[in-house]
Structures are given as C-alpha cells and as structure tokens.
Amino acid sequence: MYTTRWCGYCVRAKTLLDSRGLAYEEILLDDDPHFRRNLMELTGGWTVPQILIDDQPIGGYAELWRLDKTGALEELAA
C-alpha cells in the first residue's frame, strides 16, 4: 500500500486491514516530490492510498471499503 503520513484515507485503509487481521506492506511516499507521477506509472492512480493485492492495483480506500463490504476482500486476501 502506497501512503503518506498526512493522508486520512491512508489511516482508514490501514485501520480496516488491521481490523481484519490482514498483513500489508506500507510504502511511504512523503519524501518523494514526484510521487503522484510515479504512482500513476505503477498503479494507474495518482491519489493515496494506492492499494495492491498480489501486485494488482485495486484503487484507494473507497475501493478497499467496497471490497470489504461485499466480502470480496476476504476472497482476494485468501
């Protein structure tokens, strides 16, 4: 998960994953002045968080939340 320290949605995404007991790797982008351009190249999105499951971009917090509410997050994490 690509994040910054100042991003509230990043905190929410980490909290959701923690509450489900799902492990994740956090990649902080605070020190990268070009992080939005780099994110677009890596994930197709330019906002944080950008979340990948098995190297597949799923989007940000809203997409993570939807996957969780539909039960698809559990399936993807399995």
Sign of CA dihedral 54, 27, 63, 46: negative
Rounded to two decimals, what is the model's pTM?
0.90
Domain residue ranges in the chain: 2-77
pLDDT at 78: 78
Write out residues in the chain with pLDDT < 70, as ranges: none
- Cα-trace Rg, the chain: 12
pLDDT at 48: 96
- CATH class of this structure's domain 2-77: alpha beta
